[in-house]
A and B are shown apart, each in its own frame.
Chain A
Amino acid sequence: MTGRERQDRRAAIAFVAPAVVVLAALTAGPALWVFWLSLRERLPVFGVDRLTGLGHYAFLATDARFWSAFRVTIIFTIASVALELVLGLGVALALRGQRVGRRSALSLLLLAWALPGVVTARVFEWLYYPAGGFVNVILGAPLNWLGSPTLALPALIVADVWRTMPFVALFCYARLLTIPAAVYEAAAVDGASRSATFRFVTLPLLGPVLLVTLLFRTLDALRAFDLMFVLTGGGPAGMTETLTVYAYRSLFQTLRLGFGSAIGVVVFLLVMLVAAAYLRVLRRQDATA
């Protein structure tokens, strides 16, 4: 290695080192530590701190509340992401030809996405209020949205789709803008109908962006916490309790750090699994493209 190269290498390390140290301490370290915690029984209130092996996992395997939370998480994720994708694509297509008021349109759209999750929760809590909330006034029916075991999860999903659809719409819209007009003119010359143009021209060109957005949205939906925690608290009767809410309650209502960490690890593995699967699909897409 030449002197210059050695100097470069030292510079590289110096520039990167502070960030790596902080990341190791706050991101990588905790990610490893939570696995270790999940193997222990750690109850600070009782001074308990001992190894318990896979005991928590063995319990979760037979825990009805865990499987209910798992089911709620999966349903919430699939429903939310599917609706976001369809609606987002629709909005992007509608925005594509916009000439007047593009900035205002984007402002109105992105507002929902930019708000803190807690604000969205409070907004929808008020909208869903049985005795005078906007929704019931418009519908003219006294439905108890957040208190009914059958309506609560759909109500939650609607709130989540409201705040995440703009993200999908934005990405699709940006991609649509990059498709040159010539492509559509060629399709028109070929006599393609509107729906055919959409199916065989637009959609394939949108494919990669849709896939990437799907990845981001799925990971976010799996990890979602603030909306359900503040809007319903996981109720009624656990009908909207996702894995994240179950984990949080176990961790911080009574400081069961080992057990709560085990549920957190499950979420972690779920997220990593989904990410890995998507990336494989993406890579295969790139290869065939």
Chain B
Amino acid sequence: MTLPDARNILTAAAVVAVVLLAGCGERARPDGPVTIVFKHARMFGDDPVPRLIAAFEARHPGIRVKTEALGASSDEQHQFFVINLEGARGRGAGFDVMMLDVIWVPEFARAGWLLDLTDSLAPGELAGHFPAAAEAARWNGRVWALPWNFNVGLLYYRADLLARHGLSPPRTDAELANAVRVIQAAERDPKLDGFVWQGKQYEGLVCNALEALWASGTTLIASTGEVLPDPARAEAALARLRGWIDAGLSPAWVSAADEELTRRAFGDGRAIFLRNWFYAMDLFEEPNSPVRGKVGVAPLPRLTEGVGAPGATGGSLLGVSRGSRHPEAAVALARFLASEDAQRVLAGGSVLPTRAALYADPALVAKRPHMPAFRDLATSARPRPLTPAYLMLSTSLQPEVSAAVVGVKSPARAVADARHQLEHALSGLR
């Protein structure tokens, strides 16, 4: 064989290889009735979403909705969206309606991945939602998503144990500590822990840390954009978290605990106090739950009488992808799922709505007597900092707070390192 033949063979082989590999890429969607893709995480327990989808399709005959599941953790979902939306660059990432964690909206809006919904909404369409929930949907004066479900950080307590020892629900740290000591001394149960919360190194820890910062009278980002503007108070906040473990009020394992671990501990009757979200209550009131009928809810304990201790907000919103090929259909689905009727159906499951009116709805209150208490907590709830840089800040803050909680860094050191890291993260944006 001569040289030109060799070259031809190589070229042919290369072409074949490229064709084979390229063919393994994504294929274009076929034409037909408008199909939109809705990506959302699976719900706990009985999932009402399929019924709602069916109702929507019945109302809109030309639209078919295909649901796709997201990964279990918020971090996983975030990475999925970022890699797919950033990589798509406006071409359309293959989904139309997305379930967004409450902290992602400014980031995704800033990146240009969300469709501006402001002009598609009726005036006052957001008015029915809690202020904190509606705030999370806005950025830069425009609306980018619709609030869908809601969670607020609060204090759960064992009403039976408190009553047995003549204690009222604690409103301050001192009262909480006193309650734990009295009850533990009296009950003499080595397996009964005092106050459990989420101290593992993940987003849940930042919620606990933010609540501690707010209770100490400071915040993560000031309105000026300065990070941890009051280091002394921030230090006090971290010292408070670590202090609960040092004083034996919280067991050491909270430093590796997430929502589910702590929820189970309390739900099995092994803890007196729990910091968690709305969703846990339904699980405590299940028929064969050991703590059924024994759980009370209260606002988070204050550090001092003067400063409030709001709970952080959680939950999700519905956004529409800017690259969606069927924006009208997608917006219609989002508005349908966020409507009062749909949220009422969802509330029948284990998902709590963002609409204030539903918390006074007789049917729902009959099923969940604590709804009015939740409503009060929701009105005083506070969203996590609404900035496109929130994820960057949170992922830089997590290791520092974790180090303080575990005890390998002093609170002062942790705050100093956190400021250093967060300032550098933000400096990239200036």
A residues with CB within 8 A of B: 7, 10-11, 14-15, 18, 41, 43-48, 52, 59, 62-65, 144, 147, 149, 233-239, 241, 249, 252-256, 258-259
Contacts and interface: CB of A to CB of B under 8 A. Distances in A.
5 contacts: A11-B3, A11-B6, A59-B424, A149-B407, A256-B428
A64 B420 contact: yes
Contacts of A238: 399, 402-403
B79 A235 contact: no
B402 A237 contact: yes
Top 9 nearest A-B pairs by Cβ distance?
A: A147-B256, A237-B403, A237-B406, A45-B111, A237-B402, A254-B392, A41-B428, A238-B399, A64-B417
B253 A144 contact: yes
Interface of B: 3, 6-7, 10, 14, 75, 78-79, 82-83, 86, 107, 110-112, 200-201, 253, 255-256, 388-389, 391-392, 395, 399, 402-403, 405-409, 417, 420-421, 424-425, 428-429
Contact of A241 (B6, B78, B399, B429): B399
B7 A144 contact: no
Contacts, number: 95
Contacts of A47: 111-112
B-side interface mostly: helix
B420 A255 contact: no
Given A48-B428, A237-B408, 12 more contacts: A45-B86, A46-B388, A64-B417, A144-B253, A236-B255, A237-B406, A237-B409, A238-B399, A249-B395, A252-B83, A256-B425, A259-B428
A256 B86 CA distance: 13
Contacts of A65: 399, 417, 421
Contact of A48 (B75, B83, B399, B429): B429
Nearest to B252: A144
A7 B7 CA distance: 13
B315 to A, nearest CB: 21
A253 B403 contact: no
Given A235-B201, A237-B399, A149 B406 contact: yes
A73 B87 CA distance: 32
Given A11-B3, A249-B395, A254-B391, A239 B107 contact: no
Nearest to A66: B421
Nearest to A150: B408
A114 to B, nearest CB: 27
Nearest to B17: A18
Given A45-B107, A64-B417, A238-B399, A10 B429 contact: no
